[in-house]
């Protein structure tokens, strides 16, 4: 399962070796925090998959790993079975949305919140 690491300026999605092979991708995904528009938790990630797989692997309701292209851009998907997932909507960058299965969705959302010390005051 992909691991998510939150840094002060970015979110890193580290893919396992198998996920990299299945998605035909060499690098992990790095999303600048300022590009994250919203983060949602879902118990049914399959309804969030849009477009067609290109490239990647897909076994219905079991495994989806890779890039999905749709009329407005590209999404990156790492979904396994019926595990809880996070949907990360992104402005700009390589992908419009990233959907990742994780058992730590609540903690991820908590760590992505901007603390008062990080906020810029006018």
- d(C-alpha 29, C-alpha 14), whole Å: 7
Predicted local confidence at residue 31, as pLDDT: 96
User: Does 61 fall in a domain?
Assistant: yes
Range of the domain at 36: 3-112
Q: What share of the chain has pLDDT > 70, as a percent? A: 93
pTM as predicted: 0.88
Total number of domains constituting the chain: 1
Q: Has residue 118 been placed in a domain?
A: no
d(CA 93, CA 76): 12
- The string of pLDDT tens digits covering residues 51-60 is 999 999 999 9
Q: What is residue 114's predicted lDDT score, i.e. its pLDDT? A: 52
Would residue 117 count as lying in a domain? Answer: no
Backbone angles phi, psi at 69, to 5 degrees: -100, 140
The mean pLDDT value for 86-90 works out to: 95
- Tell me the pLDDT of the chain averaged across its residues: 90
Q: Can you give the pLDDT at residue 113?
A: 80
Q: Which residue matches tokens 């959907």?
A: 99
């Amino acid at each position: 399962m992909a691991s998510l690491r939150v840094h002060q300026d970015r979110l890193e999605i580290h893919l396992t070796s198998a996920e990299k092979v299945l998605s035909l991708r060499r690098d992990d995904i790095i999303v600048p925090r300022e590009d994250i528009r919203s983060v949602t938790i879902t118990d049914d990630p399959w309804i969030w998959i849009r477009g067609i797989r290109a490239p990647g692997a897909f076994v219905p309701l079991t495994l989806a790993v890779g890039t999905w292209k749709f009329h407005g851009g590209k999404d990156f998907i790492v979904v396994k079975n019926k595990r809880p997932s996070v949907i990360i909507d992104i402005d700009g960058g390589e992908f419009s949305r990233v959907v990742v299965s994780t058992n730590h969705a609540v903690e991820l959302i908590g760590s992505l919140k901007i603390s008062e010390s990080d906020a810029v005051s006018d």
